[in-house]
């Protein structure tokens, strides 16, 4: 935990030196657990960016199902749509490293990204991440937003880990409030977790 706190402080200290930065903290209060996550992006220059993902999910009744995730990634942007990523971090059950490629595109009110690569933890797994966001309806100063995040890991044993997050909320200025659903699978879906509730998200950008 001390290492995580130190790395977070380093990231925030770099914000002043970045050409652009984005910070998106989110809190989900659900039926099973309370979850906090954030996404931080620092655009160092036209080609390089640094991203940080942090998540902790704490179940109300027991610590047995506590989920934690922390990842730092260095990204090289070949074009506006293609980038290469190298990352390291900490997640259940320990340290990991990832190398991957990302394709991303924004069309009208929709944003899509797909990442595929290899993660080394206890063994090597093939990891894929799909993120889709769409602005649905705008009424005066309010905007109805939706987001889907799907993450899968496959290793020699099969479907080792899965994450799905669904969000539907109303945004005014830089704050979102709405309904959220988190699904988690472990060990070929031998263990599954379900958490649904209300989420609050704030979006801070520096340009």
> Whole-angstrom Cα distance, residue 74 to residue 128?
17
Q: What is the pLDDT of residue 194?
A: 95
Count CB neighbours of 71 within 10 A. 19
CATH number 2.40.230.20 given to 2-206: yes
Give the pLDDT confidence of 127-171 residue by residue, as tens digits: 999 999 999 998 888 999 999 999 999 999 999 999 999 999 999
Average pLDDT, the chain: 90
Q: What is the pLDDT of residue 163?
A: 96
For the chain, give every domain's residue range: 2-206
Q: What is the pLDDT of residue 10?
A: 52
Q: What is the pLDDT of residue 82?
A: 97
Q: What is the pLDDT of residue 27?
A: 97
Rounded (5°) CA angle 119-70-50: 85
Q: What percent of the chain has pLDDT over 70?
A: 90
Strand partners, 35: 28, 57
Q: What is the pLDDT of residue 205?
A: 83
Handedness of CA 55, 133, 174, 203 (dihedral sign): positive
Tokens of residue 177, six digits: 């409030």
> Whole-angstrom Cα distance, residue 130 to residue 163?
10
Q: What is the pLDDT of residue 207?
A: 66
Q: What is the pLDDT of residue 21?
A: 84
Q: Please name the residues in contact with 186: beta carbons below 8 A apart, sequence gap of 6 or more.
A: 160, 161, 192
Residues of the chain with pLDDT under 70: 1-19, 207
């Amino acid at each position: 935990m001390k290492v995580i706190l130190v790395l977070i402080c380093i990231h925030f200290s770099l914000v002043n030196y970045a050409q652009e930065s984005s910070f998106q903290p989110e809190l989900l209060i659900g039926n099973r657990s309370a979850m906090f996550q954030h996404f931080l992006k620092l655009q160092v220059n036209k080609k390089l960016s640094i991203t940080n993902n942090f998540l902790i999910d704490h179940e109300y009744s027991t610590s047995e199902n506590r989920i934690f995730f922390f990842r730092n990634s260095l990204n090289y942007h070949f074009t506006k749509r293609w980038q290469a990523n190298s990352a390291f971090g900490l997640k259940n059950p320990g340290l990991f490293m990832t190398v991957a490629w990302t394709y991303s595109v924004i069309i009208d009110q929709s944003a899509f990204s797909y990442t595929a690569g290899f993660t080394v933890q206890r063994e090597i797994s093939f990891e894929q991440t799909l993120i889709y966001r769409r602005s649905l309806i705008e009424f005066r100063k309010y905007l109805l937003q939706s987001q889907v995040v799907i993450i899968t890991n496959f290793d020699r044993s099969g479907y080792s880990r899965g994450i799905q997050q669904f969000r539907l909320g109303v945004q005014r200025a830089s704050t979102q409030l709405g309904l959220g659903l988190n699904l988690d699978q472990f060990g070929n879906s031998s263990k599954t977790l379900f958490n649904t509730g209300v989420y609050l998200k704030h979006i801070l950008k520096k340009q």
